[in-house]
Amino acid sequence: MAVVDLNAVSIWTPEKTPILSAIDWQVRSGEHWVVLGPNGAGKTTLLSVVAADRHPSSGTVELLGERVGHTDMRTLRTRIGRVDPSARALDWLTARELVLTGLKNTVWPRWEDWGQPEYTRAEALLDLVGCHEYAQRELKTLSHGERQRIRIARALISSPELLLLDEPATGLDFPAREALLTSLDAMAVEHPHLPTVMVSHHLEDLPLSVSHVLLLREGRILAMGPVGELLTSDLISECYGFPIDVHAFDGRWTARASAGWTVSHHDDAGVG
């Protein structure tokens, strides 16, 4: 059974402007998807559907075996973990406390609900993402990259059945990005059956564990399937609308504008 099953899903604005059109897509246990596309392609809207935050204008959405529109969305959302750099966090919490707020997906801590088993679980997850040494440090003393890895631990503590990552490497410098990607790969090994969906702008931000890619352009699926088959210069160029050279090295990816391309040929393509 698919963990995510979208059938002919379309979304439009009140003015009937299409945002997503006829999306058919399935995510299965153990798969790690990345959604790629230029600005305005519909990536954020698609993620909001998979997060049970938004109903489709037409079509059907099944998440974790539940039909959207025929189930309690609040209960469904408790089964889905999210890593979002823009999510609010109280900077006076310690790293361990932030992880523990993920048990009820709250902003404010609930110390009365936490005992030794919960603290032990939080510290094990901090160790998984390479942040055990920061357990007693307040968030305001940590870097953006360290907080991002701690957010992964927070998303995992409630044992989600699906994990969503919304541009998790946004704003990170090179060492912080590499630490984040190492944490994502460690998570994939530790939780081999947990499916993930990541939205990203940059091929360089993809961890080794990414298995599948969905390419969006103008609200429609251009292509989807195994990452090794679809991350080609031709398809990525078609997706973003200008010539791009894509290269792979030991399971990691890079992309750059093809030789001879200049800014005058295209404006705001939305790919790094």
| pLDDT at residue 78, as a whole number | 92
Residue 184 sits in the same domain as residue 264: yes
Band of residue 270 on the pLDDT scale cut at 50, 70, 90 = very low
Number of residues assigned to the chain: 272
pLDDT, tens digit (0-9, with 9 covering 90-100), for 211-255:
999 999 999 999 999 999 999 999 999 999 999 999 999 999 999
What integer is the mean pLDDT of 152-178?
94
Residue 156 sits in the same domain as residue 208: no
Residue 151 sits in the same domain as residue 191: no
CB burial of residue 86 (10 Å; 0-12, 13-18, 19+): exposed
Q: What is the mean pLDDT of the chain?
A: 92
Band of residue 266 on the pLDDT scale cut at 50, 70, 90 = low
9: CATH: 3.40.50.300
pTM: 0.91
Sign of the torsion angle spanned by Cα atoms 225, 228, 231, 233? negative
Q: Judge whether 124 and 143 are in contact, CB under 8 Å.
A: no
Band of residue 263 on the pLDDT scale cut at 50, 70, 90 = low
pLDDT, tens digit (0-9, with 9 covering 90-100), for 74-128:
999 999 999 988 888 899 999 999 999 999 888 888 888 888 999 999 999 999 9
- Give the list of residues 6+ apart from residue 95 with CB closer than 8 angstroms, or none: 126, 131, 134, 135, 136, 137, 139, 142, 146, 150
Band of residue 264 on the pLDDT scale cut at 50, 70, 90 = low
Residue 22 sits in the same domain as residue 66: yes
| pLDDT at residue 26, as a whole number | 98
Residue 272 sits in the same domain as residue 169: yes
Q: What separation in angstroms does the CA of 10 have from each of 147, 151, 155, 233?
A: 35, 31, 28, 28
pLDDT, tens digit (0-9, with 9 covering 90-100), for 46-63:
999 999 999 999 999 999
Selected residue with higher pLDDT from 262 and 266:
262
Q: Which domain holds residue 98?
A: 89-160
Selected residue with higher pLDDT from 263 and 250:
250
Question: Among 117, 136, 160, where does a domain finish?
Answer: 160
What integer is the mean pLDDT of 19-46?
96
Question: Does residue 84 sit within a domain?
Answer: no
